[in-house]
Structure 1
Amino acid sequence: MEAQLPEPGKQISKDAVKVWMISSFIGNCVGLLLFGGLIWAAGRYGWYPWIGLVFKMIFVFLVLYLPYDVWIEPIYRQKTWRYEILDQFIQLKYGVLEKNHFIIPMTKIQYVNLKQGLLLRKYGLADITVKTMASQHEIPGLPLEEAKQLRMQIAKLVPPSPRRKRRWGLTEKGRLMKSPLRKTAKGRSFLPLSKSRRKKRPHRKGRTRKGRKGTRMRRILPFLPEEGMLKMSVMDERIAGAPGWKRLSPAWLFFSLANLVKEWLIPIILFVINNSDGWWIKAIKILCVPFFLIQLIGIFLQWKNYKYRVTEKEIRIIKGSFVKEEKIIPVKRIQSVEKETSFIHRWFSLTSLKIHLATGEEEVFSLEAIKEKEADEILNRIRGDGKGTADPAAEAGGKGMQGVPGAKTIFAMAPKDIFIASFTSFSFLAFGPFLVSLYLNIDEYFHLSNLLGDLPVRVWESLARSVPLLLLGGAALIAVSLLFGIIVTFLRYGNYRVESDGKRIVIKKGLFNVSELAVPVEKIRAIKWKKYFLRSFLGITEVKLVAMAGNGEDSETKSAVLFPFLQENRAKELVREMFGIRLSEPMEKLPARALAVKLLRPNYLWIIAAVVNFYQWPEYWYASVILLVYILVHRILSFFRCRYRLEENHIQQQGGVWTAELIYLPEHHMDEMVLKTSWLQRRFGLATVEIHIRANPSETLLIEDLPWEKGAEIFRWFMEKRKRPAA
């Protein structure tokens, strides 16, 4: 079975076994001491008996696991660890009970690091860490010199993007251009500037030291790394006064002041309106005044010192009252731009822009309270001709997802769709909690319970004595709840439109609070169809775009949903119209032996829960049976739901249990692949395929318990697709 795949040939050092044995022994001893202390504390302080039982079970497991983890596993781990560095990718294979076979394309590697701890340094070893766009991998236990050479080898094989090739004077094949490095009179080498970047330089005579330093810094800055965001402190405040720098609208002060008053509303009611003679109340009143004034002054300084400038290539933002900071955002790193116009913004003809970056840190920037005309100009500058939004991964490893040219409206939500969505989303159920929350909040400040007295009780007694009145009241409550759900859904998805021009997808929605989101097509990594339990009976699906996004809390919710609810056939037609892709039918099912593996696979959480249940609460023995039945039903449904299909340039997979998900993933957006086989899967000739996608939240396409032959076929397909001609 293993011979069907090309095997990596290089092995790690045998001294790694000693390092792993020592580190495993230390780790297990720490674990035994920790749980031994917890067992003692549970008996000493009279904790619940089941807590002490769980600690004892873990302690016994650690005692039994220690010989394997210290003396057996490191030996087999070293024997099974293999790696291979090729021009196109890195192959890794390791694992004792569960074998893992990785393919890491060179085009997806971000950096290579060498790491040495105390034990590794003692035996002259080092670990190589390879960071990709989706995850991180390690080649452990290499001799130090070999690790250094391996690090340099990987670093040289990682291809630069086309922009860096042009900047470094390289052709697309990695060779030097005809105009090589030039030399000055002092023998210093430099790259010649292109004609468009050549400028007449003033005579150097009479320049101050500060001027020469600034010129030197300007020469260095173009060669700094472009990943993520370039942050620097503003050394010269005069640049903020240069033409092109703008401030937010003065209306921003009004909005911020309103938010400040809202934050201080409860303290004002508690300590100002409710007059009290307590000395501590008077002290709080005195302290609140300076805090309020400090925040008020801070709002003005924040507005005064916040400046921005937008060009075709970058966005610059200067902010900070005491510590000034300038942020330079390259336009090509912008993942999407969201335009939000709230109901209050529309009074002042203002709007706000949210800029999402394709980075992992500080990925969302806001330009709040700017004129709508100015926002449109900024959007036009950012979008440009589409050249500035190229994905670095697509540059290095293939083209992005292609859109169908031609600007047009793809989808406009009809009232019928909103009506159906209000029922299938159960938004009407929020009416009851909304009323209770509203009553409690009002009662907290205005004491409605004292004003109403026993009126609610008398109304309920009157309804209870009359069945017709009770039915009429229930019907009225249901009708109001349904109306509430329709209104909430209409306010959220009113005027929902999807437009496309082949380069970007524009999503507009909202009735009072209007939002507009533009996502470049080449940033889209995959497309996902999602059918919830109730909507699946009506044939309604949700379509999401898996895109490069930041870590914002609502970035996935706001930017990923393309069609929130639509008939499945209609959704597939629209996706085909927008991207020119078609789902392949039929998809392959899992073999019958996969169901046996799913049912036989142990669930350790259920084992612990069952032991605790029978020990602590034997009279509720049926709880463990119910949990076991739920686990088995869950696995059976996941078996019948799972489908997959491999095509020439993409793979598609369907999964889920109560919610069915179908994902379409092009080959060039796969960051890495791993083929796994556990000891149970090897007995039945099965395997698991994992494909990692660069997105946020991180996406993983998982095909579990498929035949080994199919898994090997997908693995070889990915390997062949990753190959590229040597430079």
Structure 2
Amino acid sequence: MTQPLKRLHPLVLIFDLYKLVKSNIIFFLFLFLLNMGSEKWWIQTAKWIFLGYVVIMLFLSIGKWITYRYVIKNDAFYIKSGIFSKSERTIPFLKVQNVQRQTTVFHKIFKVTSLTLETATVGDESSIIFDVISRVEAESIESAVTETREQKKIIEQSSVGLFEEQVVVVEPEKNDKKVIHFTPTKKDLVKASFTSLSFLILIPIIFKLDDVIKLDVFRDEVTNALKWGWAILAAILIGVLLISIAIGMVHTFIKYGKYEISSDTQKVYIKKGVLDESIFSIRKEKIQAVEISQSFMKRILGLAEVKLISAGNTTIGEVESNTLYPFLPVRKAYTLISELLPDYQVVESMHELPKRAFWIRMIRPSYIWLIATALIWYFKPSLWWVSVVLLLIIYSSRILDYKNSRYLLNQSFIQMKTGGFSTVLFITKRSQVIEVKTERSKLQRYFKLASIKTVNRAKPVLHKELLDVPHEAASEFYSWYVDRTKEVKIQ
């Protein structure tokens, strides 16, 4: 597949301007509206610096558009870029780990989209980013990447017969239909609104308003209302609470209203957003691990958040795109994992830590508590109770961590659960673990315990550790990993 050398979509210049305005609107309002007539020297200086920054960013945007060129040929991207220093990159389709597509309000207005292709390499140039691209071209690029992978797999499967003189490449099947596994109901959205505490969103808005308009008059009105009676004040508070809940509901719907989790035989797809839509796809074979996390609030409500860990970057802007619906019932989360990834199994019956692990955690010194206590004693001895409260929190967390910690070596899988007030259940295949480590401190030797660690490919590299397992389990863990050679072929 070959395409002529081309520039980025010209709308990318307007999109860069849109992002520039969006990210600097607060500075603009502060400098040019709230301080319109100010003669203070630092305000005037800040205005010129801000204008200079805007001009420089606009010139850089134009320079990037002029110098950035790309072409697709021989199943790879060839990219030339650079304003002051030129660079050339070649990125084969086979290196692409994840595909992310985001359609903001801006993209919807102009009927375009954005496309990000993530590779497993590290660095600023590990991704191919099209901030603005036509939807037809985005679909064409995605299809080209997918077809290249499928053809490679067919060739590899056909090449198993080493005595064949010629390999016939068969066109990949087109009947691989998506299966929708989850879409949130109204009940799920209401539960998500309260679990995420989005109904409290009105509080920071009120405090922000105090910076723009003075609320002294409003506070005086509330004081006068107290003279009329508590019924009026209660009505005001209930009204504010209802408005806050309504705003939180709307915020939750905009964020999670069109959530959809689906899959086919090759990929997992996560679609989210009402105004700003994003679509994230990840190849099942590239998933390094699965994390099931529960915050303290989610543990109380029996909810969980599932993340699919991969080698590529999984963030769109400031949002983690590899997260399945963050407010799944625990049972549904386990079922969803088995539906999306048939090779993965969540085994609820796991090994607990021995009782001696409890005592070693109780006698380990807490350096955070020691430092905090020393600072309190030196600067403010009257706050001695803060040290006591901190000590209670630390030891409560340790007790909960001991009770929650679990582990299991399940054939070619390992499961590790850790956490005190919040917990994380980590599941990965032996074939996806690139390094393991066992450690024993002097204190652990005395109690016949050890720590086990795993390393998986991710951005950044993912390290997981479980403290204070029996030393026999650590030896079994090492032997379990040695058997990895039976599953991984080194070419």
1:414 to 185, 195, 207: 185
Q: Is the 8 A contact 2:114 2:130 kept in 1?
A: yes
Closer/same/farther in 2, CA of residues 389 and 531 from structure 1, 3 Å limit: farther
Deviation at 1:342, TM superposition (A): 0.8
Closer/same/farther in 2, CA of residues 434 and 282 from structure 1, 3 Å limit: closer
- Structure-1 residue corresponding to 2:6: 246
- Structure-1 residue corresponding to 2:254: 491
2:385 to 613, 622, 641: 622
Closer/same/farther in 2, CA of residues 552 and 425 from structure 1, 3 Å limit: closer
- Structure-2 residue corresponding to 1:424: 195
Matched, 1:631 2:394: yes
Distance 1:369 1:591 in 2: 56
Q: Is the 8 A contact 1:334 1:389 kept in 2?
A: no
Range that drifts further, 590-599 or 612-621 = 612-621
Closer/same/farther in 2, CA of residues 516 and 388 from structure 1, 3 Å limit: farther
2:321 to 550, 553, 559: 559
Write out aligned runs for 1:128-527 (5 A): 244-260=4-20, 263=24, 266=27, 270=31, 274=36, 296-311=58-73, 313-362=75-124, 363-387=126-150, 407-440=178-211, 443=212, 448-449=213-214, 455-465=217-227, 466-527=229-290
Distance 1:527 1:570 in 2: 15
- Structure-2 residue corresponding to 1:603: 366
**For each residue in 1:112-161, what CA deviation from the matched residue of structure 2 results, as whole angstroms up to 9, or x when unmatched?**
xxxxxxxxxxxxxxxxxxxxxxxxxxxxxxxxxxxxxxxxxxxxxxxxxx
- Structure-1 residue corresponding to 2:453: 690
Deviation at 1:547, TM superposition (A): 1.2
**2:117 aligns to what SS in structure 1?**
strand
Deviation at 1:641, TM superposition (A): 0.5
Distance 1:529 1:285 in 2: 48
**1:340 aligns to what SS in structure 2?**
strand
Deviation at 1:358, TM superposition (A): 1.0
Distance 1:514 1:550 in 2: 18
TM-score by length of 1: 0.58
**For each residue in 1:48-72, what CA deviation from the matched residue of structure 2 results, as whole angstroms up to 9, or x when unmatched?**
xxxxxxxxxxxxxxxxxxxxxxxxx
Letter aligned with residue 672 of structure 1:
E
Gaps of 5+ in 2: 154-175
Deviation at 1:540, TM superposition (A): 1.1
**1:246 aligns to what SS in structure 2?**
coil
**2:292 aligns to what SS in structure 1?**
strand
Deviation at 1:291, TM superposition (A): 7.2
Matched, 1:594 2:357: yes
- Structure-1 residue corresponding to 2:440: 677
Q: Highest relative contact order (Cα 8 Å, sep 6+), 1 or 2?
A: 1
Deviation at 1:268, TM superposition (A): 9.0
**1:695 aligns to what SS in structure 2?**
coil
Letter aligned with residue 561 of structure 1:
T
Q: Is the 8 A contact 1:307 1:318 kept in 2?
A: yes
Deviation at 1:575, TM superposition (A): 1.3
Deviation at 1:711, TM superposition (A): 1.6
Deviation at 1:267, TM superposition (A): 6.0
TM-score by length of 2: 0.84
Range that drifts further, 562-571 or 302-311 = 302-311
- Structure-2 residue corresponding to 1:712: 475
Q: Is the 8 A contact 1:502 1:578 kept in 2?
A: no
Aligned length: 462
Q: Is the 8 A contact 1:531 1:541 kept in 2?
A: yes
Q: Is the 8 A contact 2:3 2:73 kept in 1?
A: no
Deviation at 1:528, TM superposition (A): 1.3
- Structure-2 residue corresponding to 1:114: none
Closer/same/farther in 2, CA of residues 462 and 371 from structure 1, 3 Å limit: same
**For each residue in 1:679-722, what CA deviation from the matched residue of structure 2 results, as whole angstroms up to 9, or x when unmatched?**
11212221111112222233233221111112211211212333
Deviation at 1:616, TM superposition (A): 5.0
Q: Is the 8 A contact 2:450 2:474 kept in 1?
A: yes
Q: Is the 8 A contact 1:389 1:520 kept in 2?
A: no
**For each residue in 1:352-389, what CA deviation from the matched residue of structure 2 results, as whole angstroms up to 9, or x when unmatched?**
11222212211333212211111111111122253489
Distance 1:261 1:371 in 2: 23
Letter aligned with residue 249 of structure 1:
H
Q: Percent identity?
A: 30
**2:346 aligns to what SS in structure 1?**
coil
Q: Is the 8 A contact 1:331 1:388 kept in 2?
A: no
Closer/same/farther in 2, CA of residues 601 and 282 from structure 1, 3 Å limit: closer
Deviation at 1:630, TM superposition (A): 2.2
Q: Is the 8 A contact 2:314 2:320 kept in 1?
A: no
Deviation at 1:281, TM superposition (A): 8.9
Q: Is the 8 A contact 1:494 1:511 kept in 2?
A: yes
Q: Is the 8 A contact 2:270 2:322 kept in 1?
A: no
Closer/same/farther in 2, CA of residues 296 and 584 from structure 1, 3 Å limit: closer
Letter aligned with residue 89 of structure 2:
K
Write out aligned runs for 1:573-592 (5 A): 573-580=335-342, 581-592=344-355
Deviation at 1:640, TM superposition (A): 0.5
**1:561 aligns to what SS in structure 2?**
coil
Distance 1:312 1:719 in 2: 39
Q: Is the 8 A contact 2:314 2:322 kept in 1?
A: no
Matched, 1:648 2:411: yes
Distance 1:293 1:612 in 2: 48
Q: Which has the larger radius of gyration?
A: 1
Distance 2:39 2:119 in 1: 53
Closer/same/farther in 2, CA of residues 367 and 497 from structure 1, 3 Å limit: same
**1:564 aligns to what SS in structure 2?**
coil
Range that drifts further, 302-311 or 616-625 = 616-625
Deviation at 1:632, TM superposition (A): 1.8
Distance 1:590 1:412 in 2: 37
Letter aligned with residue 415 of structure 1:
K
Deviation at 1:572, TM superposition (A): 1.2
Q: Is the 8 A contact 1:312 1:382 kept in 2?
A: no
Q: Is the 8 A contact 2:67 2:82 kept in 1?
A: yes
Distance 1:618 1:279 in 2: 44
Distance 1:533 1:726 in 2: 43
Letter aligned with residue 203 of structure 2:
G
- Structure-2 residue corresponding to 1:109: none
Distance 1:286 1:654 in 2: 54
